Amino acid sequence: MVTISKTSKGTPLLLNDGFCYILDQKTDEKILQKCEVQRKLNCHARLHTSLDNKVILKLIDTHNHSGNSRSQHIRQFYENMKGEALQNHTNPHNVLTQCYMGVPDEIRAILPDNSNLKRGVGRWRQDKLVASIPTDKNFQTTHGLKQQYETDLTFSDNIHKISALAFLESDSVIDGFETLCARLDDTYQDILDYMEDTYIVENPDPSVYEQLEARGRLISL
């Protein structure tokens, strides 16, 4: 079954039989799609679709990696959740309640807990508030973390714990990160958000693809 979704950058994403494809070329008669992880895993599988992306005209080569039949549901869930977060200005609990409707139990079982999903709602809403473009050489900066790191032993110890995620086995990173999120207070929120967006999601290790995919900022991510 062909389903059209979007990547984290808002570009079209075609889902078919557990595999994801992105635009390669477009002609007057068809659209040429390539495997989403072509660069990452050197996968040469492709397919051709009609111009409306509703009909698969041709499959080319086979994937050199396994597909994930649940990825379609996961991507659609996060896409719906992001849309609800930006359009529905009620509290995050109501947003999740709306998005859970129709989601199969086996998909809900592998999604992060509600606290993490609510953080995602907050981030999307915050990202929408784009900062104004500076008109001079003066930029806003955030002060205090360096001084706090040098003078507060508890703070510096927790920063070391966050940075130590880099030394965990790849299949343990998500669990370690979520444990820190649960134990650390709001003082570390900006740092945790930065770590998640920059290292855990944007540049994931292929071996944790499925786990990261259930965290929201999809890996085309």
- CA separation for the pair 130, 115 (Å, rounded): 24
**pLDDT value of residue 134:** 61
pLDDT at 127: 67
Number of Cα atoms under 13 Å in the Cβ half of residue 126 = 9
Q: Which of 42, 56, 53, 50 lies closest to 5, judged by CA?
A: 53
pLDDT of residue 149: 79
**Tens digits of per-residue pLDDT, 19-53?**
888 888 889 889 898 988 888 888 999 999 888 87
Question: CA 33, CA 49: separation in Å to the nearest integer?
Answer: 8
Q: Which residues pair with 6 in a beta bridge?
A: 12
pLDDT of residue 138: 62
Q: Which pLDDT value is given to residue 211?
A: 46
Q: Which residues of the chain have pLDDT under 50?
A: 202-221
Task: Compute the distance between CA of residue 199 and CA of residue 195 in angstroms, rounded to an integer.
Answer: 5
- For the CA atoms of 117, 119, 124, 127, the dihedral, rounded to the nearest 10 degrees, stands at -160
Residue whose tokens read 């009620």: 90
Does the pTM exceed 0.75? no
| Domains parsed from the chain with CATH numbers | 2-60 (2.20.25.240), 71-128 (no CATH), 145-213 (no CATH)
How many residues appear in the chain? 221
